[in-house]
Structure 1
Amino acid sequence: MEKVAEILAEASAEVVEPRFRALAAGEVMEKAPGDVVTIADREAEVIISRRLRELLPVPVVGEEAVAADPALARALHNEPACWLVDPVDGTANFVAGRPDFAVMASLIRDGQAVAAWIWQPMTRTAYSAELGAGAWRDGRRLTRAPADPDPARWRGFAKHYLRRGRFPGLSAHPSAFGALTEGRRAAGMEYPQIADGELEFLVYWRTLPWDHAPGSLLVRETGGVSARLDGSPYRADPPGGEDGLLVACDQQTWERTRAILLGGTDWDRG
């Protein structure tokens, strides 16, 4: 566990952090319309992938490698084990000079994350989780108390387009929650807020595996839930799979948040 954390921090220090607010002309590109990538993303992924394979020689599914060859993502289902890498989570923030970005990796076995790492360079904070063993921040075990029973005290995140079109309950009951924000545009910054007790829930729609596998395991190992809207646990599926994901700090909060989102008539009674 410690070795992977070192790999992420060292790759970040070598090729990511020196370019923060210092990207040169030509070091920011579009890999798809509206989807930017930088030389830091690509160089960090190469370094991290090589060093992870030295630890455990299994395939590496990296965000930038999959952008170039989508077939590589099949390893998430076809291989008994693989590494999953997001070299710069929150690239748009990184390009804009905002500090909300992270470097992340997971170890996937049979489609399930069994270990996960999140490095937040600008705060020098390291999160890790191991299936069935717990979650840690900077080497200290993380625990999370259940949420207050009153949804009016809950803090969460859901983008405006989800509030308008996907979840009728948010339109019908706009004040159901205590606070609802747009998030930080980086899953590696948002999931730890659940583990740290800063938020009660997160709502996502598009769920690329490198964005969500690390945080989902982190939340689960602090007693939370990361599940599709039908209740099935999140799995690290290749891009193009099922959309929609609700993450909450405990099972009761997950169930009541889902009821509110979907406009259930009995949500206020639990």
Structure 2
Amino acid sequence: MIEKIADLIIDTAMQELVPRFRALAAHEIEEKGPGDLVTVADRAAETRLTAGLLALVPGCTVVGEEAAHGDSALLDKVGAAGPVFVVDPLDGTANFAAGRPEFAVMVARLERGRPTAAWIYDPLGKQMLQAQAGGGTFLNGERIRLGAAPVLAQARGVARTRFLDDPWRSRLEAQRGAFVDVGSTLCAGHDYLRLLTGAVDFLLYWRTLPWDHAPGALLVAEAGGISRRPDGRAFICDRASRGFFRLSTRPCGGACARPCCPT
């Protein structure tokens, strides 16, 4: 089943996203909110993915980003017994609309809010990340195992501060000179791809919407990394989907003053 869902994701990207890349008309791009874009490609891809998942897994629940924007009550379903699929049909919409290549499709299967399978697909690079709980993480069929992270002074990563609240923002800014923030691609899927291929050592986010981070959390964990809240809780999807979330490439015990652990 994991391969059939991967095939569905690839087919969706090839049918709905790639042909529209750098080919959108002005009226095919809208704002859901200030700076929050949606395109005809997002909607078409979500429709295809939702129908495909319902056909592959009869009786499942699908919570898509665009559907949840129209009906916020759908978020109440992410913690259900399952199976529940959370879908980001076009992660990095602003990049896509601007003609930048950093966009992805992301899907995760949840059981009571916990990711049990995950897929991230880069359509232009044709890179498929996938994982099952207890089964490891794979990139285009090759298993990925994360190594030990470097010391703080050599750590490179992404520290998103846009949605950070104090005291976390102040604590992070106080440490900013101690590590290298390479900046986000503005696409969580590509940020996770960079982490899992060793281009960066950590990712740090505050707003952890299920479709943005459930896939990456499982992919990182199954590759031997960590993904958790600052109090040590494992990542779990809930309706609020907020809370300081950090990922890195080895467990640290929570007291190491690394950039993913602002103390």
Indicate whether the TM-score tops 0.5: yes
Judge which range, 211-220 or 180-189, deviates more.
180-189
Could you tell me how far apart the structure 2 residues matched to 1:103 and 1:192 are? 12
Could you tell me how far apart the structure 2 residues matched to 1:139 and 1:260 are? 29
Could you tell me how far apart the structure 1 residues matched to 2:18 and 2:61 are? 26
Deviations 1:67-124 (A, max 9, x none): 1111112111234321111100010111111101101111111111100001101111
Could you tell me how far apart the structure 2 residues matched to 1:161 and 1:128 are? 28
Match of 1:243 in 2: 243
Match of 1:128 in 2: 130
Could you tell me how far apart the structure 2 residues matched to 1:163 and 1:69 are? 26
Unpaired runs of 5+ residues, structure 2, are none
Match of 1:144 in 2: 146
Could you list the structure 1 runs, at least 4 aligned residues long, displaced by more than 6 angstroms after superposition: none
Match of 1:174 in 2: 176
Report the alpha carbon displacement of residue 200 of structure 1 after superposing the two structures with TM.
1.2
Quickly say closer, same or farther: Cα 1:167–1:258, change in 2 above 3 A.
farther
TM-score, normalization by structure 1: 0.90
Quickly say closer, same or farther: Cα 1:15–1:157, change in 2 above 3 A.
same
Quickly say closer, same or farther: Cα 1:244–1:73, change in 2 above 3 A.
same
Report the alpha carbon displacement of residue 212 of structure 1 after superposing the two structures with TM.
0.1
Quickly say closer, same or farther: Cα 1:200–1:174, change in 2 above 3 A.
same
Match of 2:159 in 1: 158
For 2:18, the aligned partner's letter is E
Report the alpha carbon displacement of residue 257 of structure 1 after superposing the two structures with TM.
4.6
Report the alpha carbon displacement of residue 163 of structure 1 after superposing the two structures with TM.
8.2
Could you tell me how far apart the structure 1 residues matched to 2:19 and 2:254 are? 40
Q: Is the 8 A contact 1:85 1:104 kept in 2?
A: yes
Report the alpha carbon displacement of residue 22 of structure 1 after superposing the two structures with TM.
0.8
Match of 1:268 in 2: none
Match of 2:71 in 1: 69
Quickly say closer, same or farther: Cα 1:228–1:104, change in 2 above 3 A.
same
How many aligned positions are there? 260
Deviations 1:209-250 (A, max 9, x none): 000000110000111111112111111223x34322111111
Could you tell me how far apart the structure 1 residues matched to 2:143 and 2:104 are? 20
Unpaired runs of 5+ residues, structure 1, are 265-270
Match of 1:99 in 2: 101
What root-mean-square deviation, in Å, do the aligned CA atoms of Structure 1 and Structure 2 show?
A: 2.0
Could you tell me how far apart the structure 2 residues matched to 1:201 and 1:209 are? 19
Could you tell me how far apart the structure 1 residues matched to 2:28 and 2:217 are? 31
Match of 1:229 in 2: 230
Match of 1:113 in 2: 115
Q: Is the 8 A contact 2:5 2:53 kept in 1?
A: yes
Instruction: Indicate the SS of the match to 2:86.
Output: strand
Report the alpha carbon displacement of residue 133 of structure 1 after superposing the two structures with TM.
0.7
Match of 2:205 in 1: 204
Deviations 1:147-199 (A, max 9, x none): 13x2111111113547895333443343211x212211111011122221221
Could you tell me how far apart the structure 2 residues matched to 1:18 and 1:208 are? 27
Report the alpha carbon displacement of residue 260 of structure 1 after superposing the two structures with TM.
7.3
Q: Is the 8 A contact 1:246 1:258 kept in 2?
A: no
Quickly say closer, same or farther: Cα 1:255–1:201, change in 2 above 3 A.
farther
Could you tell me how far apart the structure 1 residues matched to 2:254 and 2:105 are? 27
Instruction: Indicate the SS of the match to 2:198.
Output: coil
Percent identical? 40
Match of 1:267 in 2: none
Q: Is the 8 A contact 2:61 2:82 kept in 1?
A: no
Q: Is the 8 A contact 1:147 1:253 kept in 2?
A: no
Could you tell me how far apart the structure 1 residues matched to 2:222 and 2:10 are? 22
For 1:113, the aligned partner's letter is P
Quickly say closer, same or farther: Cα 1:198–1:255, change in 2 above 3 A.
farther
Quickly say closer, same or farther: Cα 1:260–1:113, change in 2 above 3 A.
closer
Quickly say closer, same or farther: Cα 1:200–1:116, change in 2 above 3 A.
same
For 1:53, the aligned partner's letter is L
